[in-house]
Structure 1
Amino acid sequence: MKHQGTILLLALCTALAACDAPDFNYRGENGRISLDGNVLTLHVDDVPDATVGSSGDFIVDGKVESISSAQHGLLVLYYQGVADIRDQANGLKAGVTAAKNAFVEKPGPDAKQKLKEAVESQAHQMSVKMCQDEVNLAGVQAQLVAQLPAFKPYGNIFPAKHADECTKA
């Protein structure tokens, strides 16, 4: 019973991390992204940086790109997909920290095993969710490449994945 509080703490830390998520960086196959506040910046070698705002605006090298409403919707989905991955990554970090702190109490062998199993289960669930978010984001990225020529240089940051890859052990 003593470690139910630890599990609750782990869950609360995860929720709080998602609410107050710090800046985020992701290095993909052919570039990287950074999310700072409500601006997502796309960095690819040999092309100017581009930004996607939380409202779906798209700016390349300081120039606002003209986009259709469908493209705007995809850009909003792209931004939200990156924010979802950031939230999962930050939640996973908070969970690991909470688990480490729980072991400071020096639990007995049975409690230690239960705590370990709970942490492993939650970490697995969060990593599957993060993988699913990456699958979804890669799909949106592919649609943006097909529909928005100015997005094409940034279209290979997230590698194409299939959902079945997320459930592999």
Structure 2
Amino acid sequence: MAAEPTFEELFRLAKRSAVHLEMRDGYMQSDPSFISWQNDPRSIPAERDPDMRPWLALMQEIIGRGVKVRRARVVSEPISDYIRFEHHVTPSNVLAGEQVRWLPRRKASDLALPGNDFWLFDDSLVVFLHFTGDGELSPEGDEERTTDPAVVALCRTAFEAVWERAIPHEEYRPS
């Protein structure tokens, strides 16, 4: 039996799209870049350098092949320190080709959203991401994959509803 593709390989296998819905106000509090930024927002070295941030190189690669990558973030306002950090480093993601939008949580109250953050690849595979209460990846298994058509439809619909209301990164001014 063949091994499942790694998370990175899923991006390389994508043919049309990869969309990400983020709904937490904090992630990976142990991230060295976040800790450095907390001490001095100007201290993050080479935040725009794909050699220093492999994610950017991966995004440039897949977007260069024509895959559309969109990321929507539902955030509480005033925003947390972690979300302020994400906002600070997001211009690099945008330069790499990602489209990013922000939706204040108070504008999402009437939307039906899944219980976990997810990536949706080519409208056919959902990868749910599981985190602990303090934002670290869950030790019991940090992801769950499904191709169930009902779950795919739920995630596609939820993402598009958030995307439609959300504010493009270039216009979002966090409070």
Say whether the fold is shared (TM-score over 0.5). Answer: no
Structure number with greater Rg is 1
* TM-score for the superposition, normalised by structure 1: 0.29
Q: TM-score, normalised by structure 2?
A: 0.28
Decide which structure has greater helix share: 1
Higher strand share: 2
